[in-house]
Amino acid sequence: MKLTDLHKNQGLKIEGDARRGGVADRYGSGVSQVTDRKEQRKLDAAAGLVPFACKLHGDLVKELNERARASGTGLNETVAELLKKGLAAKK
């Protein structure tokens, strides 16, 4: 293998590590730590959250996103609030 090929391979390895790695702890002291999916599921389960998937029309989803943005809360909180109001109105 030529010296130029070795340098090229080393550069590709460094680029791959940079793409996968994110921000090193020394640059933000771990501020940008992202939990993986498994840990996030455990945290959600401990908080009493249950995943609930459903299919909605696109215009309804847009309206939900707009409400969430306007109120400054997340989509999950907005949907939960609306569901509570709707279920309370049915009683």
Residue 1, in any domain of the structure: no
Give the pLDDT of residue 90: 81
Give the pLDDT of residue 58: 93
**Tokens (6 digits) for 24:** 């090193």
Residue 22, in any domain of the structure: no
Residue 71, in any domain of the structure: yes
Residue 11, in any domain of the structure: no
Contact yes or no for 34/22 (Cβ under 8 A): yes
Give the pLDDT of residue 66: 94
Listed range (23-27, 47-51, 55-59) with the worst mean pLDDT: 23-27
Note down the domain range covering 73.
52-91
Residue 59, in any domain of the structure: yes
Give the pLDDT of residue 20: 76
Residue 81, in any domain of the structure: yes
What is the domain count for the chain?
A: 1
pLDDT digits (tens, 9 = 90+) for 1-40: 899 999 999 999 888 887 876 655 555 555 556 668 888 8
